[in-house]
Structure 1
Amino acid sequence: MHDGHNGQDPALTELRERLKGGMARMRLNQTDLATRAGLGRTTVSEALSPTKPAPSSETVAALARALQLPVEELRELQRSAVEDIGGGVRSGPGRSIGEWDPHDLEVHPAGPGDAGSGPVRPQARTLPGYVRREHDRVLAGVVEDATVGRSGAVVLVGGSSTGKTRACWEAVQPLAAQGWRLWHPFDPTRAQDALEDLPRVAPRTVVWLNEAQHYLGDRVAGERIAAAVHRLLVTVERGPILVLGTLWPEYAARYTALPSPGESDPYSRVRELLAGRVLNVPESFDAPALAAAAALAEGGDRFLDDALSRAGAEGRVTQDLAGAPELINRYRHATPAAAAVLEAAMDARRLGVGLHLPQAFLTDAAADYLTDTDYDQLTDDWAEHAFAELAALVHGKQAPLRRTTPRTRRRPGAPAPSSAAHSAAPSTAGPVFRLADYLEQHGRTSRTHLCPPASFWHAAHTHLTDPGDLGNLTDAAESRHRLQWAHCLRQRAADHGNPDALYRLAVMREESGDREGAEALAQQAAERGHTNAPHFLAGVRERAGDREGAEALAWQAANQGSPDTLYHLAGMRERAGDREGAEALVVQATDHGHTGALLSVALIRQQGGDQEGAEVLAQQAIDRGESSVLLCILAMMREQAGDSDGAEPLYRQAVAHGNTDALYQLAGMREQAGDSDGAEPLYQQAAERGHSSALLRLAVMRERAGDRDGAEALVRQTASRGHSSTLYLLAEMRKEAGDWDGAEALYRQAADHGHTNARSHLAVMRERAGDRDGAEALARQTADRGNFSALLHLAEKRDEAGDRDGAETLARQAADRGDTVALYRLAEKRERAGDRDGAQALARQTADYGSPQAHYGLAENPRIFSRLWPYGLDPDGAPTPPWRASVSIKRSRHVPLGTS
């Protein structure tokens, strides 16, 4: 809920009067001012409203510049107003830490407690004693920094029920004594609340992002939330602020992984935010932690005493406290009907459905999880009994599947517009349930190779309404080659406002020749934040010959802060051979400050072989104040054209502007020309400025010159800075020279420094030496760290040796860990050998895993799925009969019409 403000502060009153005076002088209304300042209409309205909190410093600065008022004077009024509110504490979201119940912040309850004795009073819900571990000491240091005025952020990464949220709760207790606030964004949705209120966060506030995937992983808002958090942390006048979050390892790996060349980068801002701010929480207690827990147990802590009696030497104390073993036992010994409901819930969560699962969905979905015998024995009230069975509590006051009540949206002021209301979390008729965290994670690992049955997809299409849930299930069905269900779910997702679904259907509409329908759908996708929709809309107009309409759309996107559409349109014209049209567009863009358009077209020309034309445009961009990076690009253009003499002065200009990459490139030119003596000091200068690749090149030069000791010394120097790739490269060079022993020693050092490819090569070397068991063990370890090349290599080698069973076992091990390439390649190999049955069996397994790699195939080969099953597969794996895709156009925001 927003905090109120009485609007009577003198500084705030004067600030608003001066802003209104500026508007009157320039004859602007609030809409005009918002456009001129580059702000939202609501932001401007709230900044001027006497009933709203003081606007942020950034908002005041933007308004002052737009109204040609003294920026610093107005900022000083804003600062005075903020300091006067609440005795020096800015009004903002959240409440005092001491007012929070830790369980309301999603700290797991623990122990058998008083299950069945009725509701438990908040003050009666005690927590077990807390055992501090290494991550707690690191976290305490960040909290201590916050107490002395330095903002910070930590995201704890660990498996389910490992104590991440409890660690955050314990860490903020020193701040409670100093009067800090805590804000947990959740209403109406986590992502929406965070995006809306992050600009209002006051100093001395803990921003609580538990299960941060709901914020950072949101398809529409995640990148914007990451950017807003980053701004909050680096804006000095906003601090001190402490941001605490938690993530499961699979989400952390997804968000921090670099995209492959040519792929989109959906988590660039998230990755930037997480860099240096991730703290791992171990799965189990080590010996000192177990000893500390035992001491607390001996002192009378019945929760820890009970947990230690079961956890034993494995040290999984926190999981036991959360009831994990009993949850698994309850699942394994459940009645057939209850087990079917649980498995439907597990599949829903692992395929991307949100936390709150409608009872109607689970009931209908469960049907095909039952055998024919069990289904025939169902009674009329089977669902009531199944849900009651699953609601019974286990240790830790958790239930396998518990009924929950989503929080009601509460917002002051006028109702949101229909588009915003439509994008909020939709209401669901009937009760909703939440699956226990540990069972959710168990389902992700134990059921990863299974495609849900037909009743699951039908129930999802019938009962689910959340656009994000429907979009995730569309992707899940498509990646499993269940094409007919994917199409039906995409239609429903579009009907409920999913931007990805709307965009995909828009593309289909244009391909079918329906330009008007394509534009209608793409416009809706753009309104809901789909980044490619503005490009598509402009492209539709351009391809239809409506150049004026295409330019209008591109300029509209650029004026709203997204000039990419403008660059995209210029590129389309350039590739179509309309150089004059492209240049006219980029000149206009440049005149409006969008110099990136020049560079975009320059690169297209360079790729097309027009070096001179590319340089002309790149030089124009440099002349308009672009950074020294462009000097490097222009120099590389000349170098690629063979003009080394012309490239060198440009590189030196860039060096003079502080560009270290230019030094590295200049050294590379010298080395390529055979001037090792000239290259080495330049590499050395680049290395001294922190360029790790420069040290690597120096090491390579030393190795090739026969100075192995000097090469290794440099390699160890880079490895100590966290760059294990140099050790790996040197190992590769030793291997190529036939020095297998030297290569293996360096591979081991690289692996010890965390280089997964090095461990992969060690596995291959073990296999070559005949140590199959050792090779497999290393390959599995490498795969557990996200690198599947060793398992893939071993699978192929086993298959070549005639060990088909061994090859398929290794391929499935890779698939269980998230990579189906090995299975896919084996399927193609069987097909090429004429073994259609073997190919189909492996391809069907690949599809059931649902890997995007499998769905899209390998770039150099046709899709085996499309060859074997052109119309897709049914949920049970049978080929789908012929069907025709149709696209429903949504002509109303709420009522979908029929197909065309």
Structure 2
Amino acid sequence: MYDGPSDQNPALTELRDRLRTAMEQPGRSMTALGRGLGLGRTTVHTAVRRSGPPPSKRTVVILARGLGLPVAELVELWRRATERADPASVAGGGAGPGRPIGDWDPHDLEVHPAGTAPGSGPRAAPGGVVRRVLPGYVSREHDRVLARAVREAANGHGRLVVLVGDSSTGKTRACWEAVQPLAALGWRLWHPFDPTRAQEALDDLHRVLPRTVVWLNEAQHYFGDPVTGERIAAAVRSLLTVPERGPVLVLGTLWPKYALRYAALPAPDEPDVYSPVRALLEGRTLIVPEAFDAPALAAAVALAESGDRLLADALTRARTSGQLAQDLAGAPQLRDRYEQGSPAARALLQVAMDARRLGAGLHLPRAFLVDAATDYFSQGEYDQRADDWAEAAFAELARPVHGKQAPLRRAVPRPALRPPGDARPGEAPAGPAGTVFRLADHLEQHGRAVRGDLCPPASFWHAAHTHLTRPDDLYRLAEAARACHRLQWHHHLCRRAAHAGHAGALLRLSRARREAGDHPGADSLLRRAADAGDVDALLNLAERRERAGDTAAAEVLLGRAVESGRPYALLHAGGRRERAGDPRGAEILFERAADAGDPDGLLLLARDRKLAGDLEGAEALYQRVAATGSPLALFQLVFMRGAAGDMEGAEALGQRAADAGHPHALLQLARVVEFEGDVERAEAICRRLVAIGSVPAMLDLADMRERAGDLAGAEELARRATRTGRPEALLHMARKRREAGSVQEAEAWARQAADAGGHDALLYLAELRTEAGDTQGAETLLRRAADAGHADKVENLPAIAAKWRYGLDPDGTPTLPWH
């Protein structure tokens, strides 16, 4: 209960008098004042009446600001007034500081955001609300220790635990998960924060009621100042040791450097400024490891496989390092730094994104990044660049986000230390390569998503040709240029890679020379590639020697290819043994290829055994390959059971495959069953697959219903498939509309498929535009496909292919003759 009228509490009397005097100025009313400040009339009246409990600190601060009074002086009066009041009597609903745990958003407690809900975020529809979500939680060893402290607090014992770990290792999230059982028991949570963390803690720790969690995240802000830290440590100790104050649970987090600072004993001639903090924390800190261990990673994988998209995304980058928490914490900030950065910083990031997605190595030379950035600026941005724009941009991008990640950081490659003379084909010579930078893994992945349909500008290709020296980088970018139909840059980059000794580039140039009719030049390049150990070149040269009748030389070349251990070389050699009538030799090579990761040879052997009537031997081989997850082997097993009349066994085997994530075999069985006339059974199989969300099964079932005359059922299934947003479903609907004679609707569906990432839809649209006589529209669509790395689509429209014979310039215009 409140300890008496205000005349027994001088500080409270003075506080109310000063508030009342200010309110009684002419033209002021309690109702208008409360409305203007967002306070109720009753709240304002209670703050100034002569009896009753003191007002809350929040009310005092708001009134002081609104009335033009010195806030600090009134807060000090309030603190002195409340020191004489029973904690339960202070205004604020009859409770101490804080609010029910269930009323808190974890992000307001400084749990790092990891992502937004689908349909939310910066790309959401206008007026949409950004909804931050947390990934599933993986419990680790420190969580079990923390959970024990929470149980003890729930059982009436005051506890303090401070989690110690580097930035973004999951400390605050661990605290949030730990207190959830207390929410159901009616506990409150208080996070001292305003006007400063330390000030509110000093002001209100004495008001904390039993069954409260005191949240001291980033505890250095509370304990770091030698003066206030000592007072806060003393107040926390009192909270934990005075029986009538408890139970309370105090949770904090610290970086290791602060924990070490507070634990260190001073030199004999130095003051011991952290003695109270050290005494408070002794035996109450808990280490949070930097990385997830193997069991924690396995648990994270299980959550990802059950549909946790945030964990699944983070695992693609952080599974090897185990630093999942850091990746999750840093990802949103990295995206913000990309989207909200300066034009120069954004240009450098886009260069790095394009380089990585098109095949360049991890370490990108500074000179390449700077020169390549030229065409990533708008003309206005380019004109306004300062002389030191690059230095400023690199400095901006070097500043880290949560998890110690920087968008683009300077890197120091480790030297490859090998015995003298152990040079490897395609490897750049050892030695300094100047300053190099590495793009953050998350931004690399983000770049693939947001820039995957774009062809880099001319400055990118020119800088790559000028500054990149690693043969692998040059060759991969040459192949990317070819995939984008930038044939001139493909040629020049390929020549640079070949000059540096890249075997694949030599082989590519050899083929180009042969197509141009220069057979001696092609043979010379092919021999150079074979001498460099390229397996494709060795196999190609072996075939040429064999056709020329030089069997001995062919055998030597083939033997060199087999020695590489590459699966396709083993398959090639096995096929040759099989054609030569040496089945045992072929089987040995196919076995080696399977052990090296390619079971296609065993599938050939299984097929041969089946054709020879050895069904048991064939099934044994198919079972072995099916164990690797091969859909083709699974289908063959299903088909063999069905062909043997064991349809139930075939379906059961197909269902097991579907349950394991391989529905193709069961769908193929449905197609075979329908072809043989059992439509009812085929539809039943498809319906089972539809029930687990198989889009191909929806489309197959739609076709079956259409053939059965159920047009309404077919339409509903097709529309259900399109609602998944899968490009193949949208394109299926486009084809159906075209068959029905509605070309306009067909185009609309095909455009949706193209926008969803279906590059086949671009070709389909180009064909529709060509039929309509819109050659320019068809070119625009094919250019989109080429920009996205699907230049193979160009050959399907001969008139455009002829116009683009020499390729495209980076800006998309047809290249003039250059060879």
TM-score (norm. length: structure 1)? 0.48
- Classify 1:139/1:320 alpha carbon distance in 2 versus 1 (closer, same or farther; 3 Å): closer
Structure 2 letter corresponding to 1:436: A
Q: Which of 414, 420, 435 matches 1:415?
A: 420
Contact 2:545 2:554 in 1 (8 A): yes
**Corresponding position: 1:164 with 2:103:** no
Contact 2:507 2:537 in 1 (8 A): yes
How far 1:418 sits from its partner (Å)? 4.4
* Matching residue of 1:530: 534
**Corresponding position: 1:463 with 2:497:** no
Contact 1:523 1:533 in 2 (8 A): yes
| Alpha-carbon distance between aligned partners in 2 of 1:457 and 1:122, rounded to the nearest angstrom | 48
* Matching residue of 2:329: 321
* Matching residue of 1:882: 817
Where does 1:391-790 land on structure 2 (aligned, <5 Å)? 391-411=398-418, 414-419=419-424, 423-424=427-428, 427=431, 429-512=433-516, 514=518, 517-541=521-545, 549-550=553-554, 552-554=556-558, 557=561, 586=580, 594=585, 633=608, 636=611, 651=613, 655=616, 658-660=617-619, 691-697=637-643, 724-725=663-664, 727-728=666-667, 732=671, 746-753=685-692, 755-761=694-700, 769=712, 775=718, 778-779=721-722, 781=724, 783=726, 788-790=727-729
| Alpha-carbon distance between aligned partners in 2 of 1:731 and 1:549, rounded to the nearest angstrom | 50
* Matching residue of 2:376: 369
How far 1:499 sits from its partner (Å)? 2.3
| Alpha-carbon distance between aligned partners in 1 of 2:694 and 2:681, rounded to the nearest angstrom | 17
- Classify 1:491/1:410 alpha carbon distance in 2 versus 1 (closer, same or farther; 3 Å): same
Judge which range, 724-733 or 432-441, deviates more.
Answer: 724-733
| Alpha-carbon distance between aligned partners in 1 of 2:346 and 2:661, rounded to the nearest angstrom | 48
- Classify 1:730/1:135 alpha carbon distance in 2 versus 1 (closer, same or farther; 3 Å): farther
- Classify 1:756/1:129 alpha carbon distance in 2 versus 1 (closer, same or farther; 3 Å): farther
* Matching residue of 2:594: none
* Matching residue of 1:846: 785
Judge which range, 509-518 or 478-487, deviates more.
Answer: 509-518
How far 1:362 sits from its partner (Å)? 0.8
- Classify 1:553/1:447 alpha carbon distance in 2 versus 1 (closer, same or farther; 3 Å): closer
- Classify 1:496/1:350 alpha carbon distance in 2 versus 1 (closer, same or farther; 3 Å): same
Structure 2 letter corresponding to 1:879: P
**Corresponding position: 1:348 with 2:355:** yes
Where do 5+ consecutive residues of structure 2 fail to align? Answer: 1-164, 174-216, 221-254, 262-285, 591-600, 624-632
Contact 2:698 2:717 in 1 (8 A): no
Structure 2 letter corresponding to 1:867: A
Contact 1:494 1:501 in 2 (8 A): yes
How far 1:844 sits from its partner (Å)? 0.9
Where does 1:296-315 land on structure 2 (aligned, <5 Å)? none
How far 1:506 sits from its partner (Å)? 2.1
How far 1:444 sits from its partner (Å)? 0.9
* Matching residue of 2:130: none
Give CA-to-partner distance per residue, 1:55-109, whole Å, 9 cap, x none: xxxxxxxxxxxxxxxxxxxxxxxxxxxxxxxxxxxxxxxxxxxxxxx999x9999
Give CA-to-partner distance per residue, 1:130-187, whole Å, 9 cap, x none: 9999984856999xxxxxxxxxxx9x9987885539986xxxxxxxxxxxxxxxxxxx
- Classify 1:507/1:539 alpha carbon distance in 2 versus 1 (closer, same or farther; 3 Å): farther
* Matching residue of 1:866: 801
| Alpha-carbon distance between aligned partners in 1 of 2:660 and 2:415, rounded to the nearest angstrom | 50
**3-state SS, counterpart of residue 784 of structure 2:** helix
* Matching residue of 2:773: 834
Where does 1:329-340 land on structure 2 (aligned, <5 Å)? 329-340=336-347
State the identity %.
43
| Alpha-carbon distance between aligned partners in 1 of 2:327 and 2:571, rounded to the nearest angstrom | 52
Contact 2:747 2:768 in 1 (8 A): no
Judge which range, 531-540 or 381-390, deviates more.
Answer: 531-540
* Matching residue of 2:82: none
Give CA-to-partner distance per residue, 1:363-394, whole Å, 9 cap, x none: 01111011112111122211111111211222
- Classify 1:127/1:337 alpha carbon distance in 2 versus 1 (closer, same or farther; 3 Å): farther
How far 1:537 sits from its partner (Å)? 2.0
Contact 1:327 1:394 in 2 (8 A): yes
* Matching residue of 2:201: none
How far 1:357 sits from its partner (Å)? 1.4
| Alpha-carbon distance between aligned partners in 1 of 2:386 and 2:536, rounded to the nearest angstrom | 50
- Classify 1:733/1:337 alpha carbon distance in 2 versus 1 (closer, same or farther; 3 Å): same
- Classify 1:384/1:751 alpha carbon distance in 2 versus 1 (closer, same or farther; 3 Å): same
- Classify 1:140/1:435 alpha carbon distance in 2 versus 1 (closer, same or farther; 3 Å): closer
| Alpha-carbon distance between aligned partners in 2 of 1:157 and 1:416, rounded to the nearest angstrom | 49
Contact 1:109 1:127 in 2 (8 A): no
| Alpha-carbon distance between aligned partners in 1 of 2:494 and 2:257, rounded to the nearest angstrom | 45
Structure 1 letter corresponding to 2:356: R
Give CA-to-partner distance per residue, 1:548-606, whole Å, 9 cap, x none: 6555544655677789889979999xxxxxxxxx99x948x89xx8457999xxxxxxx
Greater relative contact order (CA < 8 Å, ≥ 6 in sequence): 1
Contact 1:506 1:521 in 2 (8 A): yes
- Classify 1:727/1:429 alpha carbon distance in 2 versus 1 (closer, same or farther; 3 Å): closer
**3-state SS, counterpart of residue 403 of structure 1:** strand
Paired residue total: 528
Contact 1:344 1:456 in 2 (8 A): yes
| Alpha-carbon distance between aligned partners in 2 of 1:823 and 1:781, rounded to the nearest angstrom | 19
- Classify 1:695/1:423 alpha carbon distance in 2 versus 1 (closer, same or farther; 3 Å): same
Where do 5+ consecutive residues of structure 1 fail to align? Answer: 1-101, 143-153, 169-208, 211-244, 247-280, 282-316, 573-581, 600-625, 637-649, 665-686, 703-709, 885-900
TM-score (norm. length: structure 2)? 0.52
| Alpha-carbon distance between aligned partners in 2 of 1:393 and 1:377, rounded to the nearest angstrom | 27
* Matching residue of 2:177: none
Aligned-residue Cα RMSD (Å) equals 5.6
How far 1:471 sits from its partner (Å)? 1.9
How far 1:735 sits from its partner (Å)? 7.4
| Alpha-carbon distance between aligned partners in 1 of 2:532 and 2:291, rounded to the nearest angstrom | 46
- Classify 1:762/1:134 alpha carbon distance in 2 versus 1 (closer, same or farther; 3 Å): farther
